[in-house]
Structure 1
Amino acid sequence: MVTKDEIKYWIESNLIGSSAEVSGDDGAHFHASVVYDGFNGISMLKQHRMVYNALGDKMQSMIHALSLTTKVKDD
């Protein structure tokens, strides 16, 4: 079972300098709010893809559902 702390670690480890807050305690459904300067000037769709890419194959094998909120630190 995946924990929110693991998801937070995976995101922050792959998007260096990001800050992630993850909620959800059922081991399957999560929400992540990710703040990252690297999102500056990038569409929301591409921001979400960056987070999904940071999670890699875990999105297919370990995480059932993840909703996202993304923003640049200064927003």
Structure 2
Amino acid sequence: MPLRVENIRKTLDAALAPSQLEIEDDSHRHAGHVGAKGGGHYRVFIVSAKFSGRSLIGRHRMVYEALADQMKGDIHALSIVAKAPEEVGS
């Protein structure tokens, strides 16, 4: 697993204790993207009990807050799907 993806995984695991976490490096689809400054493009699907009762914006803020340091360099763009456990099938 690439180092950046592993760092994202470790950070989100520690901050949000997800029951499901999928991270996809989408950088190859944005080759030559102006302004990326070396950071990559990632998709995150995350299910966490910490999202229960939170708005979509609140959930995204939680993810961005957890990844704040990485957003300064390693991550250029982040697509997030954030669900509470009761919103996903077993």
CA RMSD of aligned residues (A): 1.9
Q: Distance in 1 between matches of 2:14 and 2:47?
A: 13
Paired residue type of 1:6: N
Aligned residues of 2:26 and 2:43 also touching (Cα < 8 A):
no
Match for residue 71 of structure 1? 83
Whether 2:57 is the aligned partner of 1:45: answer: yes
Residue segments in structure 2 that go unaligned for 5+ positions in a row: 28-38
> How far has the Cα of 1:10 moved from its partner?
1.0
Whether 2:12 is the aligned partner of 1:11: answer: yes
How many residues get paired?
Answer: 74
Identity of aligned residues (%): 34
Residue segments in structure 1 that go unaligned for 5+ positions in a row: none
Q: What is the TM-score with the length of structure 1 in the denominator?
A: 0.84
Please identify the structure whose Cα radius of gyration is greater: 2
Match for residue 31 of structure 2? none
Q: What is the TM-score with the length of structure 2 in the denominator?
A: 0.72
Q: Distance in 1 between matches of 2:23 and 2:83?
A: 14
The runs of 4+ residues in structure 1 deviating greater than 4 Å are none
Q: Distance in 2 between matches of 1:54 and 1:20?
A: 14
